[in-house]
Every structure is written in structure tokens, then in C-alpha cells.
Chains A and B, each alone.
Chain A
Amino acid sequence: MRGSLHPGVVGKSLSVKKATKLKLGDAAIMGPPDTSLKVKRDAKGKRPQFYKDPAVGVEGVDHAMSMILVLAQELLVMRDRLDTVERICAAKKMIVEDEIEAYQPDQSVLETREERRQAFYTRLYYLARKDASEMASADTQARYEKVLNDIAVGDV
């Protein structure tokens, strides 16, 4: 399945080795070559680097860390909820696995789930939202410092 990241490439390098270095009988040690069909997983074309400016890159990491922790939190919430469901089902002697695979959500379920996913992504990107709103309202560090000054010594 996903164990070999580049099945095609691995297959090729194996066959080259067999032809040049390995002796008869080595195939038995290595097992038969994997001839099952596996789709390509990587798109050809250099992937752009999005966070390459070192100064800005550091700022990006602040955002990334906040997102990773929100994600971790959501995963734990989900795990607890699923655990609760499984325990309730087990207590009622219900085996739900096949029913989960066969389940077809109706329109209201589709909407509930999409609403939940959009709310989740919105929380995940709360710092980006804050960033854009600061830019839209010209809410700068300079304004922040001006407020400190105004409150300390101004007519506020």
C-alpha cells in the first residue's frame, strides 16, 4: 500500500541491482518484485518554496505552530467523541463498522458536516484572519504604541 513511496522507481533500481550485483538465489531473499499496479503519487514539476525569506519564515512558523496545536486539539476532541460512541455502542452490543461504510449522509448531514469543516478551517487560520483584519483597519504596531502613549500621558 503506502509503504513504498515510489514503487516504480524502487522496482527499477531493484532490477538494475539484480542484473549487475546480485547472484542467483538473492531473489528469494528479497522476495519477488512487486508487480501490482500502483499509481504515481508525486506530480512532476519542482514544488515552489513558500516560506523562503528567513525573516518572514520565522513569522510563518508562529502561524504554523498555532495551527498545529489547534489541529492536535481537534484531533483529541474527535478521538474522545469517537471513543464515547464506541463505548455506548459496545454497551448496547451494536457492531457499527459495516454500517459506517454503508452510511449515506442526507442533505442536512452534508450541511452539518460542511459547516463544521468550514468552522474548523476558520479556527485553524485564526491568525491569518487577524492579520488581514489588521491590514484592513490599519491596526499597526505604531498605532498600538501610540495608544500606550496616549493613555499614559495624553488626553484620554
Chain B
Amino acid sequence: MLNTFQQVDHPILPKPNHDERARQESAKSLKQFVQQGLLPGLGPVFQGRAGPAYTKKTGKVADNRLDIRKAMISDPYHQHYAAANRIAQELLWEGVNDTIDRQLPEMIEKAKALSAAAKAPLETDPNFKTPRYVTELDIHCMPGGYAGELTPDDISTGALYDRGVYLYAMGYMGPFNDDLGRSVCNYINRQLGGFKPTQILEMGCTVGHSTLPYKEIFPDAQVVGIDVAGPQVRYAHARAAGLGHEIAFYQRNAEHTGFEDESFDLIVSHILLHETSGKAMPQIFKECYRLLKPGGYMIHADLPPFAKFDPFAQFILDNETYYNNEPFWGKMRELDQEQLARDAGFDPQTVRFDNAPMAVMEYAMQAAEGYSQEASSAVADRDVNAGEFAPGGGWEILIGQKGH
């Protein structure tokens, strides 16, 4: 599959020059190569070399993810795979930061102007206490992290995330990085028996890339995005305004949002939970329950539990924990998420994991730049393959409904 997926420009997106764009594209291509060219060799290397060597040394068979890791960690092939993956990650941020460093003051002014012209509220708090699970490490090696702030009006890490996510996801999330939100919206329309949300909250919205489809697909609904990082919500607000959407963005913590009981009938999050903590996650589920009206739905699109994968696939997935500053990635997959949702009060009959098929084919149908029919269907229809972005062509979602 030849991946030429392109991000669509919008008013607040950083504007790379020719060479910056070429560097960013080459980092994206390197990620694609690591998945398609190096990842498939890990299995044969484990079977043919690292596994037998481990057994010879320890007398044990490496049959769980932690022992497989011990067997593979010093194998040269695995070292190349892991190192290349890490280097691609570093190069993609580095490439985008070249552009942002060149343009930041004018980007900040542009964000202010876009936000000032929008009717929907933007709320940030200079005394906001960012939770430690977000600040202890720069998650997924993004310099500055989500909440890094160079100046009170800063949007730099929002801009970095918007362009960086496109490169990280290799465009699989569409020209507006919105595949996660769009796919969940499609799921709601097709699988929830005619449920039409009217008050929608997205937790951990970052730059609002997943938030926008909710406004587009449910135009009469009030849509609110919250995030713990000031630069993200500022950028999100300006980005939405630049794309012609009125969406409220607040700097709030999903564990205790400050909204009144029963304020929403749909609460969603997209790849948020694995970036929280063992303490925060159950609290977020309880907060969702408190905020929902009876009959309302909570939907989290995030990582499926390890139990759904064989031990070797688990080992590959867990590399993110060790090599990509994702401290909760592995542990989160060990939790019984369905039980957490039931414990928070959700109707046990409704709590389940399901698969929301990727909306990537829609981009091909709209003839978005670079979204060839062939490449889009290759992404949409592929088999589950641990270590690839969005394995299996769909997003794993956890659903719970609050009882009437």
C-alpha cells in the first residue's frame, strides 16, 4: 500500500516551507516503513533466534509479554525496530517544531483573532492545576508535553499536536485528523437505535480534531470540549473557528469537571484514558455517570485490553510503554474496564466493548488529497495486526448507558 494521505490546511495549522514539509513527509514515511517493512520480521526473529536463546539461558519458554520482552530486548533486529520507531517519533516532532519556531508569534496573534471572532466560549485558567499524569513525562515524546506553556497566550503545543498527530497516524485519521470522532458518530447513528444526542461533552479533546465531527454530524447539539492543557484548548477554539464551527472549549479536568449533574446526554473521549492514571480512570467513569442524564451514553474510544491479543502481540503493543513515554499504556490494558464502568453505576446490561469501523473510506469518496481509493480501502479492510496504527481497521470503543 502506497500511503500518500495528506492533511488539509486550515487557518491556524503551521505552514511548513518546502524543505520542512519534505522532512515531515520523510518522518511519516519512516513510520510507515517501520510498520510495513520491519514489524513483520519480529515474529520470525522471536521464533528463530530470540525465543530459543532465552530458553537456552533460563530453561523457560517465553510465553507471556514480559518474558518475551526479556527475550527480545537484546536481539539486534528488535533493537533496530525499536530504535527506528523511536527515531521516527523524534524526527516527526522535530520537523514540525522547525515550522512552529519560525511562525509562533504570528500564529499566536492569528489564534487570538480567530477566537475573538467566535461566539462559542473559550475558558482557560492561569491557576489550573494540571494533573501529574500529564506533566511527569512528555507523553509520546512530544517536546513540552500537552500543557507546556511558553507564554500566557501560547498555542505552540496545540499546533505541534495537530500536525504531529497527522504524521504519527500517517494520515490514517483523515485530512482533518477526525477519523476517531467521525467513526464514533457513525457508530452512534448506526448502532444505538436512533439515539440523537443533544448535549455532547468530549473529555480530553486536545486540539478538538475529534470534537468537530460531533458538531458536523449532530448540528443541533451543543458540543463542549474540555482538556487539562491551556495551549490545547486555545488552539482547539481557534482551529474550530477557522473551520467554521461554534464549539465551546474549557480548560477542565475530566475527573472533576465542575459541570452540574445530568448536564449531558452523550460523553465521549478519544485516546484519552490511556494517558490518565490508575487513580484517575475510575474517577473519570464516575464523573461521566454523574454528568449524564438518565438514558445517556458514555463512549470511550481507546485501547482494547491485553486479553484480546496473544502474548507476542501484547509484547509488541507494550513497546509504547517503554519506548514512547506512555506510562499508563500497558497497565491500562490490564484493567477490567467493563467492571470499572459497572462500578461507576452504568447499567451492566449495556456495558461492552465494540468496534467502530474507520471512516477512512469516506475521505476517498470525497477525493481528499492523497486518499486514493486503493490505499484507503487497504487501511479500512486490513486484519488485526498489533503494532500497526489502529490495528484491524477499526477503533475499539467502550460503551455504557446510564439507566433510566
| A114 to B86 alpha-carbon distance, docked (Å) | 21
B79 near A51: Cβ-Cβ < 8 Å: yes
Q: Is the interface of A mostly helix, strand, loop or mixed?
A: helix
A48 near B143: Cβ-Cβ < 8 Å: no
Instruction: Given A50-B86, A110-B370, decide whether A39 and B18 contact each other with a Cβ distance below 8 A.
Output: no
A118 to chain B, nearest CB (A): 6
Instruction: Report the nearest B residue to A41, measured CB to CB.
Output: B143
Q: Compute the total of residue contacts between A and B using a CB distance below 8 Å.
A: 145
Instruction: Given A45-B137, A51-B79, decide whether A114 and B97 contact each other with a Cβ distance below 8 A.
Output: no
Instruction: Report the nearest B residue to A132, measured CB to CB.
Output: B41
Instruction: Given A41-B94, A56-B74, A100-B18, decide whether A128 and B325 contact each other with a Cβ distance below 8 A.
Output: no
| A38 to B160 alpha-carbon distance, docked (Å) | 13
Residues of B within 8 A of A80 (CB): none
B45 to chain A, nearest CB (A): 5
B208 to chain A, nearest CB (A): 20
Residues of A within 8 A of B84 (CB): 125
Instruction: Given A42-B143, A117-B29, A135-B47, decide whether A53 and B74 contact each other with a Cβ distance below 8 A.
Output: yes
Which of these, B74, B77, B101, B143, contacts A128 with CB under 8 Å? B77
- 1/0 per position for B80-95, CB-CB distance to A under 8 A? 1111101000100110
A122 near B141: Cβ-Cβ < 8 Å: no
Which of these, A107, A131, A136, contacts B76 with CB under 8 Å? A131
Per the 8 Å Cβ criterion, residues 132-152 of A in contact with B are 132-136, 138
| A32 to B76 alpha-carbon distance, docked (Å) | 49
Instruction: Given A56-B74, A117-B29, A128-B77, decide whether A45 and B325 contact each other with a Cβ distance below 8 A.
Output: yes
Instruction: Report the nearest B residue to A8, measured CB to CB.
Output: B150
B278 lies within 8 A of chain A by Cβ: no
B375 to chain A, nearest CB (A): 9
Q: Is the interface of B mostly helix, strand, loop or mixed?
A: helix
B193 lies within 8 A of chain A by Cβ: no
B4 near A114: Cβ-Cβ < 8 Å: yes
| A63 to B95 alpha-carbon distance, docked (Å) | 25
B100 to chain A, nearest CB (A): 5
A50 to chain B, nearest CB (A): 4
A87 lies within 8 A of chain B by Cβ: no
Instruction: Given A63-B80, A125-B80, decide whether A43 and B29 contact each other with a Cβ distance below 8 A.
Output: no
A135 near B29: Cβ-Cβ < 8 Å: no
Instruction: Report the nearest A residue to B108, measured CB to CB.
Output: A37
Instruction: Report the nearest A residue to B102, measured CB to CB.
Output: A1
Instruction: Given A114-B4, A132-B41, A135-B45, decide whether A107 and B104 contact each other with a Cβ distance below 8 A.
Output: no
**11 A-B pairs whose Cβ atoms sit less than 8 Å apart in the complex:** A37-B150, A39-B100, A43-B145, A117-B33, A121-B30, A125-B37, A128-B41, A131-B41, A132-B45, A134-B48, A135-B45
Interface residues of B (CB under 8 A from A): 2-4, 6, 17-18, 25-26, 29-30, 32-33, 36-38, 40-42, 44-45, 47-49, 74-77, 79-84, 86, 90, 93-94, 97, 100-101, 104-105, 108, 136-138, 141-145, 148, 150-151, 154, 156-157, 160, 322-323, 325, 369-370, 372
Interface residues of A (CB under 8 A from B): 1, 36-45, 47-48, 50-53, 56, 59-60, 63, 100-101, 103, 107, 110-111, 113-115, 117-118, 121-122, 125, 128-129, 131-136, 138
Q: What 8 pairs across the A-B complex have the smallest Cβ distances?
A: A132-B41, A135-B48, A43-B138, A110-B4, A136-B44, A45-B137, A121-B33, A117-B29
